[in-house]
C-alpha cells in the first residue's frame, strides 16, 4: 500500500508505471498505421532489465492470443498511450508555436518529448522527477547520443517537496508564458495534493500559459483498471492513495483558467481508430485529457 512519504525505483510501484507508459508507446510505434513515433521508448524498457515487458515478447503474446485478459490489457495500454500521447504532443506543439518557450514536465518519467518534438528556437524544457528516475533516463539518453532542439534541464525533486523553489533555482522564470504538462500525475495524488499542485502552478503561470493533464472523472472506479495493472505485474493498491474526489476542471475554471477536455475514447474515434476496450465503460470514457489556458 502506498504512503505519503514512499519512494520508488524505475521498476517498482509508481516507477513501474513509467515503464508501462514507455511500453505502450513502443508498441504503438511498432504497429501498422501508428498514431505516434517514439524511438526512445523501447530502449527505456530494454534498459530496465524487465524482460517480461519487452515489446517483442508482448507482441508474441498478442499473436498467440491464448490469454484474453492479457490481450485486452495490451489493447487498452497501447491505445490509451497512442491517444494520450498524440493529443498531448499536439497541445504542447501548439502552445510552443504560440509563444510558450518554457515547458515544464512534472513527474516526467520516461517522457522523451524534449527530444521528439519540433521545439521552436530558444525553448527550454524542464523535467521534474525523482532522482532515481532521472538518473536512469539520462543514462539511456546519453548512451544513445540523443539530441534535442531545446535546452533540456532536469530538476531532481520529489513533487511532495518544494519543487517550485527547485525549479526556479534551475532557471525557470515565472513571468514567462509556460506550457505545463502533468501526464499521468493527478490520479496518484490525494484531493488535497491535487489542489495544492494546481494552486502552485497557478502562482507561476502568467496569462498565455497552457496546462495539460489527464484525470479520471469523479465517478471513475479505479478498481476497473485492476486487470490492466495485474496483467503487467502491479497490484492496483500498490499504486493508488485514497485520492477522494476533486473536480480539477471546475477548480481551474474558478481560478483563472479556461478548460476543454476530451475522453480517451473520443480522441481515438477522432483519430479514426476504434477499440472495444476503450469504447465501453471501463476506461476510455472515464479518463479525460484536459487542456487549460490561463486567462
Alpha carbons 288 and 84: distance in angstroms, whole number: 9
In the prediction, which pLDDT does 10 show?
65
Q: What does the DSSP assignment read for 217-261?
A: -TT--GGGGHHHHHHTT--GGGT--------HHHHHHTTTEEEEE
Model confidence, pTM? 0.89
pLDDT tens for 99-128 read 999 999 999 999 999 999 999 999 999 999
The residue among 106, 126, 116, 114 whose CA lies nearest residue 213 is: 106
Q: Indicate whether 278 pLDDT > 70.
A: no
pLDDT at 88: 98
3-class secondary structure, 122: coil
Q: What is the mean pLDDT of residues 158-171?
A: 95
* Residue 236 confidence (pLDDT): 47
Q: Is the pLDDT of residue 273 over 60?
A: yes
**Per-residue pLDDT for 227 more than 50?**
no
Q: Please report, rounded to a whole number, the percentage of residues in the chain having pLDDT higher than 90.
A: 61
**Terminal Cα-to-Cα distance of the chain (whole angstroms):** 39
Q: Residue 277's pLDDT is what?
A: 57
The CA–CA distances, whole Å, from 288 to 8, 11, 83, 135, 281 equal 26, 27, 11, 31, 13
**pLDDT of res. 67:** 80
DSSP calls for 12-25: SHHHHHHHHHHHHH
Amino acid at each position: 500500500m502506498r504512503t505519503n512519504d514512499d519512494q520508488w525505483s524505475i521498476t517498482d510501484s509508481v516507477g513501474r508505471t513509467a515503464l508501462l507508459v514507455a511500453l505502450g508507446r513502443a508498441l504503438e510505434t511498432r504497429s501498422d498505421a501508428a498514431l505516434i513515433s517514439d524511438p526512445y521508448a523501447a530502449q527505456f524498457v530494454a534498459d530496465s532489465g524487465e524482460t517480461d515487458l519487452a515489446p517483442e515478447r508482448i507482441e508474441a503474446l498478442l499473436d498467440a492470443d491464448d490469454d484474453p485478459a492479457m490481450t485486452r490489457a495490451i489493447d487498452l495500454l497501447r491505445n490509451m498511450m497512442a491517444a494520450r500521447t498524440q493529443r498531448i504532443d499536439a497541445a504542447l506543439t501548439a502552445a510552443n508555436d504560440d509563444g510558450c518557450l518554457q515547458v515544464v514536465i512534472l513527474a516526467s518519467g520516461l517522457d522523451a518529448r524534449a527530444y521528439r518534438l519540433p521545439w521552436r528556437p530558444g525553448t527550454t524544457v524542464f523535467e521534474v522527477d525523482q532522482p532515481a528516475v532521472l538518473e536512469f533516463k539520462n543514462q539511456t539518453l546519453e548512451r544513445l547520443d540523443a539530441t534535442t532542439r531545446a535546452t533540456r534541464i532536469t530538476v531532481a525533486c520529489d513533487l511532495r517537496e518544494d519543487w517550485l523553489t527547485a525549479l526556479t533555482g534551475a532557471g525557470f522564470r515565472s513571468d514567462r508564458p509556460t506550457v505545463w504538462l502533468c501526464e499521468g500525475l493527478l490520479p496518484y495524488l490525494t484531493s488535497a495534493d491535487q489542489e495544492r499542485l494546481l494552486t502552485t502552478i497557478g502562482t507561476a503561470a502568467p496569462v498565455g500559459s497552457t496546462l495539460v493533464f489527464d484525470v479520471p472523472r469523479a465517478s471513475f472506479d479505479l478498481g476497473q483498471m485492476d486487470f490492466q495493472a495485474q496483467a503487467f505485474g502491479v497490484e492496483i493498491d500498490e499504486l493508488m492513495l485514497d485520492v477522494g474526489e476533486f473536480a480539477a476542471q471546475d477548480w481551474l475554471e474558478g481560478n483563472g483558467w479556461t478548460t476543454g477536455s476530451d475522453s480517451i475514447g473520443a480522441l481515438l474515434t477522432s483519430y479514426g481508430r476504434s477499440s472495444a476496450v476503450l469504447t465501453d465503460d471501463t476506461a476510455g470514457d472515464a479518463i479525460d485529457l484536459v487542456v487549460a489556458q490561463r486567462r
